[in-house]
Amino acid sequence: MQKKILLLFILAVNAFAGMAQHKNEPVRVIEFSGMVFYEDETGRPAPLPYTNVAVKGTSRGAASDYDGFFSFVALAGETIVFSRIGYKTVEIQIPDTLHSAQYKWIQIMTEDNILLPEAIIMPWPSKEHFKQEFLEIDISNELRENAIANLAEEKMKEIRYTVPADGRESSSIVIKQQATEYVYTGQTKPQNIFNPLAWKKFIDAWKRGDFKKKDNR
Q: What gap in Å lies between CA 101 and CA 71, rounded to an integer?
A: 13
- 0.95 exceeded by pTM: no
Neighbouring CB atoms inside 10 A of 72's CB total 15
Mean pLDDT over all residues of the chain? Answer: 78
Separation between Cα atoms, residue 22 and residue 18, nearest integer Å:
6
Model pLDDT, residue 90: 95
* pLDDT of amino acid 198: 76
Identity of the residue numbered 3? K
- Check: CATH 3.65.10.10 for 27-109? no
In whole angstroms, what is the distance from residue 92 CA to residue 56 CA? 10
138-156 pLDDT, tens digit per residue, is 767 777 777 777 777 777 7
pLDDT (tens digit, 9 = 90+) per residue, 76-87?
999 999 999 889
- Looking at residues 164-172, what average pLDDT do you find? 78
63: Cβ–Cβ under 8 A, 6 or more apart, which residues?
50, 51, 52, 53, 70
Which regions of the chain carry the CATH code 2.60.40.1120?
27-109
Range scoring the smallest mean pLDDT among 50-54, 175-179, 195-199: 195-199
- Residue 3 predicted with pLDDT over 80: no
